[in-house]
Amino acid sequence: MAITFLRNINFFRIVSEFIIPRVICLKKSVSQQKVAIATLGCKVNQYESAQLAQVMRPDLVIVPFSSFADIYIINTCTVTAQADFQSRQLIRRARRQNPQAKIIVTGCYADTSPAEINNIEGVSIVLGNKQKNLIPHIINNGWQVGKYPPSAARVIRDNSELLPLKHFYGHTRAFLKIQDGCDSYCSYCVIPYARGEKRSLPASEVLNSLDVLIKNNYREIVLTGIHLGAYGQDLSPRTDLETLLQEIIFANVSSRIRLSSIEPLEISDKLLRLISANKIICPHLHIPLQSGDDNILRLMNRNYDSSYYRSLINNIAASVKNICLGVDVMVGFPGEGEEEFKNTYQLLEGLPVSYLHVFPYSDRPGTAAAKSAAKVPEKIKKERALILRGLGARKKEFFASRFLGEKMQVLIEKTKDKKTGFYKGFSDNYLQVLLPDADASLTNSIIEARVDKYSEGKLYGQIISR
C-alpha cells in the first residue's frame, strides 16, 4: 500500500495542510456544551470527523479547536512519526485550554499505540478506528469512567452512523469515503494494522450519498478511500471503481467528481477512457511512486518496477488531454544510497508529472522496514527531500505555464489567498487559480476564467463568465 495519506508538496505543507487540525466550526452558543474536533491526516479521517459532528446531540455545539470546550475529540494519524508527535501536541493543547475537559483520542495512532496515548495526562478515552462510532454514543448517552484501549470497546452500530453526510463544514469541496482498509502491507506502512481489511460502500449507498451532497450544493465531490483502487473487491457481487464511475455517469450527477490517490496497478485503460470521455470526472490522478529504484521498490514490497511506472505515466499523459499527474515519493528508505536516489530523481525528471509530494522515510513500529539496520541519516534525508522538492517546483511551474492564455473551469473556494487577499479556486485538473475580480458572492460556484499569469508558484486569472 502507498502512503496515500501524504498529499502535500513539502514538509511545511505536511504540517500546515494535514497535520495541523482541520477545524469544523458551527455557530457558538453560550448555554450549550461545547465540542471541539481536530483532524489529522487523510481525507478519510476528515470525512469521518464530519460524520461524527453530524450525529452529535442537537444541544451540543461544535467550536474551533483553539477555543475553550467541554469535550475535545482528536482524530489522529500515524503515517509518520511527525503525525504521532502532532497528535500528542494536540492532546496537551486541549488540556491547557480546559484542564477539566473530557479528551477523546481516536484514529490510526489510537489504534496502533493506545497504551502510549493512555499515559498522557488528561486523556479520558482512547478509541481505535473500528470504535470511532462509539463517540457520539458516549457523549450523547453518558460517560463511562476511566480509560480503555480499542480492544475493550463494544462496537455500537445504529442508524445514525449510516446516514449520508449532509455537510462538510469548512470545505467547498466535499469528500465521500467509499472504501476503507488495506491488505497490501507495504514494508514501511502501519495503516493496514490500524484500518483493517478492505471494505467498500455499495454502489447504491454511494449514489445516495452523492445525491445528498449535491442537493446541499457541493459542486465537487472527492471519492476517497484508504485503498481506493481496491473498491468493490469485497462486495458481492464483486465490482470495481470503473463500474462505480459508470453508474455515477449514468445517474447524470450535476457535480464534478475527483478521485483521490490510486495505486499504479489499479489504473486501467477503461478508467482512462472514462476520464477522457466524461467531463464530470476531473482529469487528475495522484499516483504513488515511493521510489524510482527497483531494488528499493522490492524492499518496500511494492508490486511494480520503475519500467512499469514510466510506461504507465507516459500512457496516461498521452491518453487524457491536460491531465494533472501527482506523485508521492519517499526519500531515505533503509538501504537507499546515492545510486538509488539518483535512479529516483532521473525517473521523475523524465516523466510528464505535474507535482511531487516528497516525504522523508519514518520508522513505523511493527513494520518490516523498521527492523532494517540500513538506516539513512536524517541529514541526508533532508538533503534529498530538498532536491526532489526543487524538481517538484519546476515540474509544477512547467505544467501550470502550459495553460497561460487558456480558459479554465474554476471552482471558487471559501478561503482567500493569505498573501494577496484574492479569492482562489481549483480547476478541474487541480490547478489553483487566484482571481482578483472574484468576490464572496461567487464562493462555491464554477466560473470560467482565462489564466494570464504565473508567479511564485501561483496562477492568476480573470473571470470571463459566471
pLDDT digits (tens, 9 = 90+) for 158-174: 333 446 788 887 788 99
Can you spell out the DSSP letters for 330-348?
A: EE--TT--HHHHHHHHHHH
Q: Write the CATH number of the domain with boundaries 11-160.
A: 3.40.50.12160
Confidence (pLDDT) at 142: 65
Distance between CA atoms of residues 327 and 353, nearest Å? 7
Other beta carbons within 10 angstroms of residue 410's beta carbon come to 28
Q: Which CATH architecture has domain 407-465?
A: Beta Barrel (2.40)
**Residue partners of 337: CB distance under 8 A and separation at least 6:** none
- Across the strands, what pairs with 107? 76
Helix (H, G, I), strand (E, B) or coil at 356: strand
Topology of domain 161-401, CATH: pyruvate-formate lyase- activating enzyme (3.80.30)
> Domain map of the chain by residue range?
11-160, 161-401, 407-465
Among residues 124, 64, 429, which one has the least CA distance to residue 283? 429
Distance between CA atoms of residues 167 and 205, nearest Å? 17
Strands 355-360 and 324-331: parallel
237 cis-preceded (ω within 30 degrees of 0): yes
Distance between CA atoms of residues 204 and 320, nearest Å? 28
Whether 358 and 7 have beta carbons less than 8 Å apart is answered as no
Which three cell numbers, joined as nine digits, stand for 18? Answer: 494535514
Distance between CA atoms of residues 221 and 61, nearest Å? 26
Among residues 402, 401, 407, 434, which one has the least CA distance to residue 418? 434
Residue 164 is classified by DSSP as: P
Rounded to whole angstroms, what are the CA distances from 275 to 42, 236, 281, 396?
24, 26, 5, 21
Confidence (pLDDT) at 342: 98
Higher pLDDT, 8 or 168: 168
Record the pTM.
Answer: 0.85
- Across the strands, what pairs with 221? 174, 257
The gap between the terminal CA atoms of the chain, to the nearest Å, is: 42
Q: Looking at mean pLDDT, say which of 41-55, 131-145, 163-177, 371-385 comes out highest.
A: 371-385
- Taking only the tens place, the pLDDT of each residue in 97-146 is 999 999 999 999 998 898 899 899 999 889 888 888 888 878 876 665 34
Alpha-carbon radius of gyration of the chain: 22
Q: In this structure, what are the phi and psi dihedrals at residue 407, rounded to the nearest 5 degrees?
A: -90, 140
Q: Looking at the chain, how many residues does it have?
A: 466
Distance between CA atoms of residues 391 and 344, nearest Å? 11
Looking at the predicted structure, is the pLDDT value of residue 14 above 50?
no
Confidence (pLDDT) at 31: 54
Sign for the pseudo-dihedral over CA of 218, 219, 223, 224: negative
CB-based burial label for 58 (10 Å; 0-12, 13-18, 19+): exposed
Which three cell numbers, joined as nine digits, stand for 62? Answer: 461544535
Helix (H, G, I), strand (E, B) or coil at 135: helix
Side chain identity at 192, as an amino acid letter?
Answer: P
Helix (H, G, I), strand (E, B) or coil at 388: helix
Among residues 16, 3, 180, which one has the least CA distance to residue 79? 3
Residue 59: pLDDT band (50, 70, 90) is: confident
Rounded to whole angstroms, what are the CA distances from 373 to 217, 289, 363, 385, 458?
52, 23, 11, 21, 42
Among residues 462, 285, 328, which one has the least CA distance to residue 18? 328
Which three cell numbers, joined as nine digits, stand for 403? Answer: 495553460
Confidence (pLDDT) at 193: 86
Whether 217 and 32 have beta carbons less than 8 Å apart is answered as no
- Taking only the tens place, the pLDDT of each residue in 250-266 is 999 999 999 999 999 99
- Taking only the tens place, the pLDDT of each residue in 213-245 is 999 999 999 999 999 999 999 999 999 999 999
